[in-house]
Each structure stands twice: as structure tokens, then as C-alpha cells.
Amino acid sequence: MLKYVDTDIVFQELPDEVTLAVNLSGCPCRCPGCHSKHLWEDGGRPFDEAAVEQMLSQHGDEISCISIMGGDAEPHEVNLIAASLRKHHPNLHIAWWSGRTLLSSDVNPDNFDYIKLGPYLRHLGPLRSPTTNQRLYHVEGGKLRDITSYFQRRSLTSA
Ligand code: SF4
């Protein structure tokens, strides 16, 4: 079962989106240099359709996107939640933050608008670093278009 530790409304993780980020626990990725080791443990509250609806009843008017941060131990469950969101909230954008290098075959890209792939490697840096190994994709007609350069352009602009 997917579980979440906390949520946050963020403005910089995705282009032109106000995003409700849901931080899931039980991360199996074990990235060297992990910035969120508290998410390795299996704790928190169930992240299921009821929890999502509760979150949206609280924050639905404030956000344009919901991002599922983690869930790599159960990608099929992440996919089910995203499919339900797609069905019941067609105007809401949906993102998944995966620490894996490759997209799980249990996931239908069409259930998402954005997918971030790649473990966090401290020496290469996060998405805004020009040397990052991580990739952010926009899903267009079931295909993944790499939009990682958006972050590097913005980083240069704000430097
Ligand atoms: S994906 Fe990597 S950086 Fe993120 S919580 Fe898991 S181990 Fe840490």
C-alpha cells in the first residue's frame, strides 16, 4: 500500500504550475546523497483514492497540478491513482516523480502530464543543474518529450 508522509504546495517543480506535491514513504531507490532519507521508511498515512479526494477538497481551488513524489516500490499503484485522477479530475494536471532511470512498464504514460525520471546523484545535481542526470518529460500523445532544459534556462535567467 502506498503511504504519504506530508504534502506541500510548490511553485518551481513544474513549468507554470501550482503543484500539490505528495511525498510518499517507502522509497526503494537509495540514491547516493539522498536529501530525504526519512522517506526510505515505510510510514505515514494511506495514499489511496479517498486520501486524494480529501486533499483535493482542501486544495483543489489553489492548484493546477498534483505531483506524486515517489512510489517506486509500487508503480502499478501509482498508475491506478493517476488513472483515477485522470477520470475524475480531467482538468487537473498529474505528475510523477520517479527515482528510477527507466519508466516502469506498469505505468501508462497517458495517465500523466509530466514524468520525472532518474535517481538523485549529488555530484551531478538536481534538475536545475546543467550536469544533471535527471530528466523531466512532458507527456504528449503517449510519448515523452524531454523538457529538462526548461530548468537550466530558468536557472540562467535567475542567476
Ligand atoms: S528517489 Fe532518491 S532522492 Fe528521492 S527519496 Fe528516494 S532515495 Fe531519496
The residues that bridge with 46 in the sheet, in sequence order, are 3
Nearest alpha-carbon partner for 74 in 32, 25, 9: 25
> Tens digits of per-residue pLDDT, 119-151?
999 999 999 999 999 999 999 999 999 999 987
Q: Which atom of ligand 1 is nearest to the CA of 29?
A: 7
**Cα-to-centroid distance, 31 and ligand 1 (Å):** 5
- The whole-number pLDDT of residue 155 equals 59
Taking phi first (over 0 means left), then psi (-120 to 50 degrees means alpha), and beta for anything else, what does residue 154 get?
Answer: alpha
52-110 per-position pLDDT tens digit: 999 999 999 999 999 999 999 999 999 999 999 999 999 999 999 999 999 999 999 99
Pairing of strands 143-146, 19-24: unpaired
